[in-house]
Structure 1
C-alpha cells in the first residue's frame, strides 16, 4: 500500500520535491495525489509534511533512520566516502573548497576510502576538471537553472537527496556564509550532528569516526567533538585553516550526473538582485599583505598611519576585535575567531597583545611583524620580527623607509614573494 493523504493536507507542495521517484503531484483541483505505481513507501514525504497529513499504513519508517548506527560493523558497512561541498558563485569556485579536498584526502587515506565532491549549480561543467586536478575522485553533479544562485531550500533538498541515495560517511563544508547556512539545514534535515568552525580534523582509527576539533570557551581550550551514532558526520571548516593541496593537470575521476527537479514556483525565496561589494579591501582573507591594528592603536590617527603603511606596501588594513569594538574599523575587516581567518605572506600586528582568539585567525601567516610597547605580550613572542616601542614613533619611520626602497607597483609583485 502506498502513502495515504489525510484530510488535513493544505496543499503546500513541500513534499513533492522530496519524493525521489516523483510519485506525488497536484491534480486539476489543486489537491495532492499519489501515484500508487511509482510510490516505493520510502516515507520521505511523511517527515517533511508540516501538518502531518501523510501516513504509511504499512508502518515503514523513513530511510533516514538507517543513519542511526549502533555497531562498529554498521559504521563500516552502511556508509562510505568523504564528501566535500563545492561552493561556487556563477562558476567562480571558492578557495575553501580546494582546501577541504586536500583535507578530505588525508581523512580518506586513513579510512581507506574515496573523496567525492558535490557540485550544485547552473552551467557549472567547467568547474569539474578543477576538482579532479586538486584530488577529488568522484564528482556528483546536479546542473539545473534553479541552482543558479544559492538558496537554502533548494540546495538542502538536493543535498539530502544525494545523501539518502549514496550514504557518505563524512561531509565537509566551508564555514562561509553560504556553507554555515547549508550545513545547518542539511544536518537538521538528516537528524545528524554538526561540528562548526573546525580548525583540525582527524580520524579515530580504532573506532573509524571523525574527530572534529574547534576552539571552545572563548578560545581558551580546544574541544574535540565526535558523532558516534548518526551519519553523515558533518563539520564546517574555516577558510585558510587547511593547507591548499597541489594540483595535477592529468588527474581525472568519475562524474555522476544526477537529476533533481524542483519547481521554481514552489520555492519560497527568490533572488531578485546580487549586490556586489565594490571595495577591493573587503576580502581580507585573500590579501597577501595585511596591516592589522589592535586596541593599542588607540584612535583614528593611529589607523591613518596603518592605512598609509598598507598603501605603500600594496596591502589591506584589518583590525582585532578590540579595534572593532572601539569603532576604529568595521567588523568586516576583523581578524580572529569571531572574524576572518587569514594566511597572508606578510602580517603586521600593531598594538595587538595576542589573545588566543586573535591568534587563531592569523597564525597561518608566513611572516609576522609585531609592534607593541609590551615586550612580553604573546604576539611579540609569536612574531617573526618584534619591534618594542610607541607605534606613533615607529610607523612613520617604517613608512618612509619603505617609500625609499620599494619600486612602483610593488603590490603587483607580492605574489612572487617566497
Structure 2
C-alpha cells in the first residue's frame, strides 16, 4: 500500500475573507509570505510560511508562487453557457437581443455534440479567467445540462446549472411545457453527485405561464436544497411587460414570491429596478442578488444600486452574464461594478469587490465553509494572481503602497492574463502559458 503523502503546499501571498468588509473591520486575512496547505483536495491550513513549513510531512511538494497572490477561486453567480458563441452581438435592447441572437443560438443545442463542444470551451474559458464555480443557465434541452455537468465532472469542478424553463413568448422550437419530469430527472441524475449542483431555472416570468410557474414552485419545494435562478427587473420595458402579464402582483419580484420561488439558494440576476420593499423581501427570504454590471451596461438596462441593497441587508454577489455580459473575467466585472457604483454616487473598494467574487458569492449561495475562503476543510479551489502580468500592471503595482492599491489595480487593469494558475480541489486545471496538469 502506498504511503505517499497527499499533502501539498503553495507558497505565495495569501488573501481571503471571513466577513464582509463593508460591515466588518478586519474582514480579510492577508499574509505577505504565506503557505496554503492542501490535503486530499481540501484546505488543511493557511498561514505564515515560516510557521507552517515545519509542519509539512517529509517530501510534501511545495509550489513556489512568491511574488503572486493566492486567493479563493472566483464564483460567477449568473452566466449562460449556450450564449458563449454570441457574446458581443449588437442589439438596441434586451428584448430584441433575445429574439435576434439568443433564441436562434440556443436552438443549436438540439445537437448533443454541439452542447458538449460548447461546454468544454465554456469551462476552459472560465478556468482561464480564474472562475472555479458558476451558476449556469443551460437551454430547454436536457442534453445541454448533461453536457455541462459531464464536462465539469471531468474537470472536478463545483458547478451549478439547470435546464431553462419557458412555455410562452418564445419560438416554437424552444417552447417547453409545465411538465417538470425532465427537470426532476435531471435533479435526480445530477444534484449532489460529485460536485454538481442543480439549479431550477425559469428563464424569466414573461416566458412562463401560470401553470409552469406553479409547477416550478412545487418542484422547488420538493427539492429544497436545489438552487433556483432567474432574471428580475433587468430592463424597464421588461418590467412594464411583467406588469401587463401579472397585474394582480405588486411587483415583478412578487411574481416569483407568489409561486414559492424566493428562498435560500435562490439567485436573482440584475435586480436593477427593484424598490425598497423588494430589497427587504430579498433579505427576509434569504434570496440573493447577482449584480451583472457588464451586461447591464452593454444592453443599456440601467445601473444597479448596491448601496440600496446593502442598506436592506440583501445578499449580493457578481455575475458576468455572458453572453450579454462582455467578458468571462471577474476582474473585468469588478471594473464595471466599480464604475456603476460611482455613477450611483457610492464607492466600491477593491477589498469589497474581491469579497463579492469569493466569500460573498459563497454566502449568497449558502456554500460558506465549502468554497469561497481558506477555512480548514473547505474545498481547495483557488487561483494565483499575478500583479505583474502585463507591463502596465507591473509598472502600476510596483508603486503600490497598500494591498487596497494592488487589488484595485488588478480589478481595473486585469483580465485573463492576470490569472497565473487555477486550481480545483488542489489540482491545477489551468496555468498561463502551460498545459494543465
Output the TM-score relative to the length of structure 1: 0.28
Bigger relative contact order, structure 1 or 2 (CA pairs below 8 A, ≥6 apart) = 2
Output the TM-score relative to the length of structure 2: 0.27
Of Structure 1 and Structure 2, the greater helix share is in 2
